[in-house]
Amino acid sequence: MASLRAHVFAWMVRRNVRDRLGRQLDIARMRRTFEGAAFIAPRGVQYEPGEAGGIPGEWVRRPGDGTGPRLFYLHGGGFVACSPRTHRPMTGAFARRGFRVFAPAYRLAPEHPFPAGLEDALAAWEAFSAEGPAAIGGDSAGGNLALALMLRARDRGLPLPQAAILFSPATDFVGTGASYIENGQRDAMFDPEVLRALAPLYLGGADPIDPHVSPLYGDLAGLPPLLLHVGAREVLRDDSVRLAERARAAGVTVSLRVFPVVPHVWQFAHAYLPEARTSLNAASTFLTVHARAGAEA
């Protein structure tokens, strides 16, 4: 059962995001809306500029902590907005739970369409993973990039993460999931028409069924354990549900949870929302368990 706060928060998101974005795609408005969110970055951790593989980004960790598990986190934002700074509520939450996080500032569309963002993520991951075992995380567009990155890393013989956590990832640019219709009016953040208009700006002429664009259509065999959290009312619900089904069929260990009521990437609101803390705690435990298993192996 969803909390009362989940209902209130979903209403707030609809009013402040979906209603503000409207039904016509406006990149400038989307950037102002997403990047002007008022979530507070967690205290007690350090946010420091840095780079990995020549890609700028941000290190997030507790002061003096040089021993915690390592997490490579890819921010969301529809491939066109946001940055490591906007996602401090997410990276800071993991840092407070003991992780040493690096979030790359990958290039954004439409100025830099596919595969620019993926190439940046892969370059940063190659350097980051060379320093030792690590996990990958990502939300929304960042979840898409995390999956595409793992497919490329596997095929190129690069290190794979110990595990991956994916919050409401976009996995199907064709938009064939039933939730695109079922949740078209219920999704608190996105109108399906906005998502359909956004897709060509990222694709830049690429095939939407390319597995590095739509990981749902890729060969998922050999991927590390995956955790997927998504909202039952999201347009992107079935992007997670169907990916989990295909990954399990390919022999991948998958933990999938569909949360009622909550809006897209509700984990941002962990200071207010119990479902956000539940999700982050479960993701942290999942990563810690698989990091420990990897070390023992």
Summarize pLDDT for 73-91 with one digit per residue, the tens: 999 999 999 999 999 999 9
pLDDT of 297: 64
Summarize pLDDT for 195-240 with one digit per residue, the tens: 999 999 999 999 999 999 999 999 999 999 999 999 999 999 999 9
Contact between 71 and 94 under an 8 Å Cβ cutoff? The reply is: yes
CATH value at residue 188: 3.40.50.1820
Domain count, the chain: 1
**Has residue 251 got a pLDDT over 80?**
yes
Contacts of 93 (CB under 8 A, 6+ apart): 42, 267, 270, 280
What proportions of the chain, in percent to the nearest 5, are helix, strand and coil? 40, 15, 45
Summarize pLDDT for 6-62 with one digit per residue, the tens: 999 999 999 999 998 888 789 999 999 998 877 889 999 999 999 999 999 999 999
Domain extent for 192? 4-296
Entry pTM: 0.97
**Has residue 64 got a pLDDT over 90?**
no
C-alpha atoms less than 13 angstroms from C-alpha of 83 in its C-beta half-sphere: 12
pLDDT of 38: 72
Q: Where are the alpha helices (DSSP H) in 205-260?
A: 237-249
Q: Which two tokens mark 73?
A: 């986190």
The span from the CA of 136 to the CA of 119, in Å, is 16
Which residues are catalytic, by number?
Answer: 140, 234, 264
pLDDT of 296: 65
Q: Where are the alpha helices (DSSP H) in 36-164?
A: 88-96, 116-129, 141-156
Strand partners, 164: 136, 226
**Has residue 269 got a pLDDT over 70?**
yes
pLDDT of 295: 66
Summarize pLDDT for 102-154 with one digit per residue, the tens: 999 999 999 999 999 999 999 999 999 999 999 999 999 999 999 999 999 99
DSSP summary character for residue 14: I
**Has residue 242 got a pLDDT over 80?**
yes
Q: What is the dihedral of CA 79, 80, 86, 89, to 10 degrees?
A: -30
The span from the CA of 182 to the CA of 36, in Å, is 29
